[in-house]
Amino acid sequence: KNQVEQSPQSLIILEGKNCTLQCNYTVSPFSNLRWYKQDTGRGPVSLTIMTFSENTKSNGRYTATLDADTKQSSLHITASQLSDSASYICVVSTYNAGNMLTFGGGTRLMVKP
């Protein structure tokens, strides 16, 4: 069964600090992995997409990494800001027709002043 596990479930950090969120998956065959940011009560918004051949992708202060061999991805947030407080969701796609997306449970990040 395709699964995406994220850790930690929740995290509290101080403004200006860095943090790393983890995503482990067992989805096969793998197509791509996206990280989404979801502000409370809003729809998720895509931060990065990574395909099999990519191992690092940056979007401003967000840097995603992918290790396709170990089936792990991480999202590193640099110099956190209060606006980074949100849930971060890892979503893995397959090439199979039909239900092609597997969602992780998300990591809830709180950045405190």
Partner 1 sequence: EAQVTQNPRYLITVTGKKLTVTCSQNMNHEYMSWYRQDPGLGLRQIYYSMNVEVTDKGDVPEGYKVSRKEKRNFPLILESPSPNQTSLYFCASRRDYPTGELFFGEGSRLTVL
Residues that bind partner 1 (CB under 8 A): 31-32, 34, 36, 41-46, 49, 51, 89, 91, 93-95, 98-101, 103-106
Closest CA to 35 of 98, 88, 93: 88
Q: Which is nearer to partner 1, 15 or 52 (CB)?
A: 52
Q: Point out which residues pair with 62 in neighbouring strands.
A: 59, 77
Task: Report the nearest approach of partner 1 to the CB of residue 22 (Å).
Answer: 15
Nearer to partner 1, 34 or 84 (CB): 34
Smallest separation, CB 17 to partner 1 (Å): 26
Smallest separation, CB 113 to partner 1 (Å): 26
Nearer of residues 17 and 95 to partner 1, judged by Cβ: 95
59 exposure class (CB count in 10 Å sphere: 0-12, 13-18, 19+):
middle
Q: Which is nearer to partner 1, 54 or 71 (CB)?
A: 54
